Amino acid sequence: DAELFDRLFAINLRAPFLLSQAFAAQLPQNAKGNIINILDARLNRPLPDHFVYRLAKGGLWQMTQMLALELAPRATVNAVALGAILPPPGQGQEYLDRMAQEQVPLRRAGSARIVTENVLHLLTQDFLTGVIVPIDGGQFL
């Protein structure tokens, strides 16, 4: 439906675009900056479930790479692609742990700590840009 399409694109593509524009406009000419976008690790599996969500996240993937070129050398633009980190809406941690045991090669779910460590790593690297870091325990290999 058109309303869902507009809402998911507003959240997952338009908002990051506007934030990136505002960031680039205010970044002092002699300063360096970083943008980290949040993707879904399922992007490399173009299945029809969650069609509009995946379409918007695919656009964000492309935008990450385009902005990496556009904003270089003043800023790096990277993304993390999250897998089994949080349970789906309406499900609890038990569900996530059970799903991870069955579907994730490392047989466990990720955590906010793991995401934070990877984001901090990207923020400290001045020679990485346009990089998508999958944080999925190998789930989408």
21-34 pLDDT, tens digit each? 999 999 999 999 99
User: Which H/E stretch holds residue 84?
Assistant: none
Mean pLDDT of 104-131: 97
At 129 the pLDDT is 99
Q: In the structure encoding, which two tokens stand for residue 130, read together?
A: 């346009």
**How many structural domains is the chain composed of?**
1
Residue 141 belongs to some domain of the structure: no
At 52 the pLDDT is 93
The pLDDT-based confidence of 43 (bands split at 50, 70, 90) is: confident
Average pLDDT, whole number, for the chain?
96
User: Which H/E stretch holds residue 66?
Assistant: helix 51-71
State the Cα–Cα distance between residues 121 and 77, nearest whole angstrom: 13
What CATH number is given to the structural domain containing 73?
A: 3.40.50.720
DSSP state of 41: G
Residue 82 belongs to some domain of the structure: yes
Residue 140 belongs to some domain of the structure: no
State the Cα–Cα distance between residues 54 and 58, nearest whole angstrom: 6
In sequence order, the β-bridge partners of residue 35 are: 77
The pLDDT-based confidence of 2 (bands split at 50, 70, 90) is: very high
Residue 56: which domain range?
A: 2-135
